[in-house]
Amino acid sequence: MSLPQYSHLKFVSNGIYVAGQGVRGVFVFNTGSGYVAFDAACPNQALSSCSTMTFKKIDDQRIDRTNVVCACDNAQYSLFSGQSAGKSYPLKQYRVEVNGNLLRVYN
Tell whether 106 is covered by a domain: no
Do the domain assignments include residue 75? yes
With 90 as the cut, is the pLDDT of residue 22 above it?
A: no
Residue 104 resides in a domain: no
pLDDT over 90 (residue 17): yes
Domain harbouring 24, CATH code? 2.102.10
Average predicted confidence (pLDDT) for the chain = 94
Is 90 exceeded by the pLDDT of residue 26?
Answer: yes
pLDDT tier, 69 (very low <50, low <70, confident <90, very high otherwise): very high
Domain membership flag for residue 13:
yes
Within a domain: 105: no
Domain count of the fold of the chain = 1
- pLDDT tier at 56, thresholds 50, 70, 90: very high
Indicate whether 107 belongs to any domain: no
pLDDT above 90: residue 1: no
Q: Where are the beta strands (DSSP E) in 11-75?
A: 14-18, 26-30, 35-39, 54-57, 63-69
| Band (70; pLDDT cuts 50, 70, 90) | very high
Strand order in the sheet with 76-78: 54-57, 63-69, 76-78
Whether pLDDT at 98 is above 90: yes
Q: Which domain holds residue 92?
A: 4-99
Does 37 fall in a domain? Answer: yes
